[in-house]
Amino acid sequence: MFEGRLELVLWFLQPLLLTILIESGIAWLCGVREGRFFKAMVWINCITNPLLCLFLYHFNNLSQTGIAVLSCEIVIVFVEWRLLVSVFPGQQHRMFFLALAMNAGSYLFGLMLYC
């Protein structure tokens, strides 16, 4: 599948950068202005997004089904929510809403882009 290192790097980098861009925009639209939040969101996405890409690459047949990708996104919402709460304790509800909104937005954008 990958002919060279550059292709491999781009395969991981493109969805990561798109996710960060989309989720940052959604957070901004939701009223988030704290630089600390954006820094945490970028680091969290640097963990969860490549793991999702690896999972979908490893289970290539599953990645063709929307239900598998949607299931992964649901797991990611909960993982990112818990990681955000660890950075912003006492804001469980706000962080859950943001994790849900950001991931729903990036999932829907991915559907429009790749389907």
In whole angstroms, give the CA distance from residue 107 to residue 17: 14
Domain boundaries, the chain: 5-114
Residues 72-104 have pLDDT tens digits of: 999 999 999 999 999 999 999 999 999 999 999
Q: Where are the alpha helices (H) located in 30-65, listed in sequence order?
A: 35-58, 60-63
User: Tokens at residue 34, please?
Assistant: 């704290």
> 37-55: b or e for each residue (b if 16 or more CB lie within 10 Å)?
bbebbeebbeebbeebbee
Instruction: Express as a percent the part of the chain with pLDDT over 70.
Output: 93
Q: Check residue 65 and report its DSSP letter.
A: S
